[in-house]
Structure formats: structure tokens, C-alpha cells
């Protein structure tokens, strides 16, 4: 069975390692982390592997998973390229949603096949994530050998893998950020505007709960365009401008966001897309 080394004993590495071992997909070789206790804890959670806290002590493997923070990926790739340049070529994959496989260029330069594979799942708690992973979409891009190998690996543990067009990783990840990160921001904005208008906290929560649930249900059932309501979708520019001024007196940045979103809502209503020239 091919061997896998895991570089970075964080939540993603622990979760994927555990799933790979549980499904008997790969043999775990070594699990590296700068913090020896983290490496040991990861091996215990994964259920296999040898903990190491010195990258120079890592041994060759068929596949290397770089589950380190984004800012460390290039550094680790350079270190591995220097460490392993005399070894047989291997496959390396990182899990960043924002960075492309080009971040692993130092390894590609020593004839490794490289890819990035981003699971669209919250890994806040590995103990929970291992049970949530089944059916998780995973966006993959990079060299064909690395793509194919890691797709087979993740598919064997329940992932739904798909390919990302070359050069579009940033747009891909931006979409995930918009879908998951901005709804809480908009919810907070609505809540604060209501509280500023004198609404009691309990009523604010009830209204927010009802509107968000209804909106999400409508988007999933009808699609974004048909689910759209409000003055911008009706072309009621006078109301949009009045509301933007009122919000601007409360907070200029929030007013700018309201105006920008209103422009996009108008486009979506008229064109069926938020982009001016689809």
C-alpha cells in the first residue's frame, strides 16, 4: 500500500489522516509538526504513523500532505525540495482554499507532481469532522498525476471531488468566502440597524431567524433570481437612495456596502446575473 507523510498536525491533517487509516486507503508514514506534542497527539488521533518534530528526519513517502497554514506552504515546499531532491519523485498536495498548486513549485522543480485539494467543510473539531466528511465537495487543481492520485484517495473516504479550472482558484475560493462568511456579516448589520431603531433584542432575534430561514429556503428552492425581493429588485431607486443616506448617517462603510449590494440586486433582477457583462 502507498505511504503518506503528513506535514502539519492541525485539524485538517488529523481529520484526513484518520479517515485514510479508517478506510485502509494508505499507510501513514510520519506525521511532522514543529511542536512534538502536537505531532504525538495527531498520531494518536489518526491511529497510525510516527511523530516527528524535525523535518530533516522525515523519510521518503509516495504522497506528502502539506496541511500547514497558507503562509507556511511555500516555506515547507522549499525545505522538502532541498531535503528530498535526491530521492525518487513523489506527490505533494496542499489543502489551501486560496492558494494554487503553484505554491508547491519548488517541489515541481525537482520532478514531483503537485496539486491543491480544498475540502469545502469546517474542520473546527476533527472529532466531528470525521463524521461530517462523507459527501464533502473537494476542489482539485494541479498536475495530472497528483490530481488523479489524491482524487482517488479522497473519493475512497467519501469526498465528492471536482476539478477547478487552471488559474481560477482565487475566484473559486472567493465564492466560498461570500457564501459562508458574509451571511453572518449581513445578519449582524441587520441586527444592529434594528437595535438602533429601538427594537427589543428578543424581537430582533425572532425577525432575523424568520427572514434568514425564509430567504435561504427560497434561494435553494427557487434559485437566487426568483428568491430576490426588495426595492432594488423592483427598480425603486428612490427608496434605495433614501435608505443608503439613512445608513450613511449611521455608518458610512455600511452605506457603501448597502449601495453596492443594491446595484448587484438590480442586475440580478434584470439580467439574472450579478455580473454586468456575463
Residue bearing cell 494518536: 44
What is the second-level CATH architecture of the domain 3-167? 3-Layer(aba) Sandwich (3.40)
pLDDT in tens, 22-31: 999 999 999 9
Kindly report the average pLDDT of the chain as a whole number. Answer: 95
pLDDT in tens, 89-135: 899 999 999 999 999 999 999 999 999 999 999 898 999 999 999 99
What percent of the chain is modeled with pLDDT above 70? Answer: 99
Quote the pTM value: 0.84
pLDDT in tens, 59-100: 999 999 999 999 999 999 999 998 876 567 899 999 999 999
What percent of the chain is modeled with pLDDT above 90? Answer: 92
CA distances from 258 to 57, 232, 254, 264, 268 (A): 54, 10, 6, 10, 15
Torsion of CA 223, 176, 163, 42, to 10 degrees: -140
pLDDT confidence tier of residue 231, bands split at 50, 70 and 90: very high
Equal CATH topology for 3-167 and 171-271: no
Residue bearing cell 532541498: 82
**β-sheet with 137-142: strand ranges across:** 50-52, 27-32, 3-7, 63-66, 91-94, 113-119, 137-142, 160-163
CATH of range 171-271; options 3.30.70.20, 3.40.50.1370, 1.10.1040.20, 3.30.460.80: 1.10.1040.20
Alpha carbons 55 and 82: distance in angstroms, whole number: 11
pLDDT in tens, 210-225: 999 999 999 999 999 9
pLDDT in tens, 134-160: 999 999 999 999 999 999 999 999 999
Q: Which residue ranges make up each domain of the chain?
A: 3-167, 171-271
Alpha carbons 41 and 47: distance in angstroms, whole number: 10
Amino acid at each position: 500500500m502507498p505511504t503518506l507523510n503528513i506535514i502539519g498536525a492541525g485539524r485538517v491533517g488529523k481529520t484526513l489522516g484518520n479517515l485514510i487509516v479508517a478506510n485502509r486507503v494508505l499507510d501513514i508514514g510520519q506525521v511532522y509538526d514543529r511542536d512534538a506534542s502536537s505531532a504525538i497527539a495527531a498520531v494518536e488521533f489518526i491511529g497510525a504513523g510516527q511523530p516527528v518534530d524535525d523535518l530533516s528526519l522525515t523519510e521518503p513517502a509516495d504522497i506528502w500532505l502539506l496541511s500547514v497554514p497558507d503562509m507556511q506552504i511555500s516555506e515547507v515546499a522549499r525545505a522538502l525540495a532541498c531535503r528530498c531532491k535526491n530521492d525518487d519523485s513523489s506527490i505533494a498536495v496542499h489543502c489551501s482554499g486560496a492558494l494554487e498548486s503553484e505554491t508547491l513549485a519548488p517541489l515541481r522543480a525537482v520532478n514531483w507532481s503537485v496539486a491543491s485539494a480544498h475540502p469545502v467543510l469546517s474542520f473546527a473539531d476533527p472529532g466531528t469532522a470525521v463524521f461530517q466528511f462523507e459527501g464533502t465537495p473537494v476542489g482539485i487543481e494541479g498536475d495530472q498525476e497528483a490530481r488523479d492520485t489524491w482524487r482517488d484517495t479522497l473519493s475512497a473516504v467519501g469526498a465528492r471531488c471536482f476539478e477547478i479550472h487552471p488559474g481560477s482558484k482565487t475566484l473559486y475560493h472567493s465564492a466560498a468566502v461570500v457564501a459562508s462568511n458574509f451571511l453572518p456579516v449581513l445578519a449582524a448589520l441587520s441586527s444592529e440597524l434594528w437595535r438602533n431603531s429601538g427594537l427589543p433584542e428578543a424581537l430582533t432575534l425572532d425577525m432575523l431567524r424568520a427572514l434568514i430561514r425564509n430567504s435561504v429556503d427560497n434561494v435553494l428552492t427557487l434559485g437566487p433570481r426568483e428568491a430576490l425581493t426588495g426595492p432594488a429588485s423592483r427598480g425603486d431607486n428612490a427608496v434605495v437612495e433614501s435608505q443608503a443616506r439613512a445608513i450613511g448617517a449611521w455608518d458610512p462603510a455600511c452605506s457603501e456596502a448597502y449601495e453596492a449590494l443594491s446595484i448587484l440586486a438590480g442586475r440580478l433582477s434584470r439580467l439574472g446575473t450579478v455580473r454586468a457583462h456575463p
